[in-house]
Amino acid sequence: MSAVLRPQVNRDTQFFWEGTRAGELRVQTCNACGALRFPPGPSCPECLALDRGHRVVSGRGTVFSYVVHRYPPVPGKELPILIALVDLEEGPRMLGELVGVADDEVEIGMAVQVDFHRVDDDLTLPIWRRA
């Protein structure tokens, strides 16, 4: 196990982490009304249905907001890092590290594309790059 912060994987999030391992960005869907939601959860915030599935999204989005994280230290990371809130083109908003962009280059509205950082056999993290 490498020294990074590891996500909690449970029944509601397993599909997401299986997706990142397969190079897919998967978003939970409601099988009753079709709404997409992130983060995943047991019931639909729109219609309260429990019947859920997921779909693979494009991985394209835009930066809604971001922070430059300088402190405190993050296990396995060299600071500073950019953490972005990304609006997926399909609607849901997702949090993730933005890489390959200097902290004075990032802009609200910047087009980004998901990529995948393989940490080890068990964990692949979604990351964001400038599109």
- Site for Zn ion contains 49 (CB under 5 A): yes
Spatial distance between the Cα atoms of 81 and 75, rounded to a whole number of angstroms: 12
The stretch near Zn ion (CB under 5 A) out of 15-23, 40-48, 79-87, 122-130 is 40-48
The answer to the question of residue 36 lying near Zn ion (CB under 5 A) is: no
Q: Binding Zn ion by CB under 5 A: which of 7, 46, 79, 129?
A: 46
Query: Binding to Zn ion by residue 32, rule CB under 5 A?
Result: yes
- Tell me the C-alpha to C-alpha distance, in Å, between residue 91 and each of 42, 60, 62: 19, 11, 11
Q: Is 47 in the site for Zn ion (CB under 5 A)?
A: yes
- C-alpha 83: how far from its chain's center? 11
Nearer Cβ to Zn ion (4/32): 32
> Distance (Å, rounded) from C-alpha 48 to C-alpha 58?
26
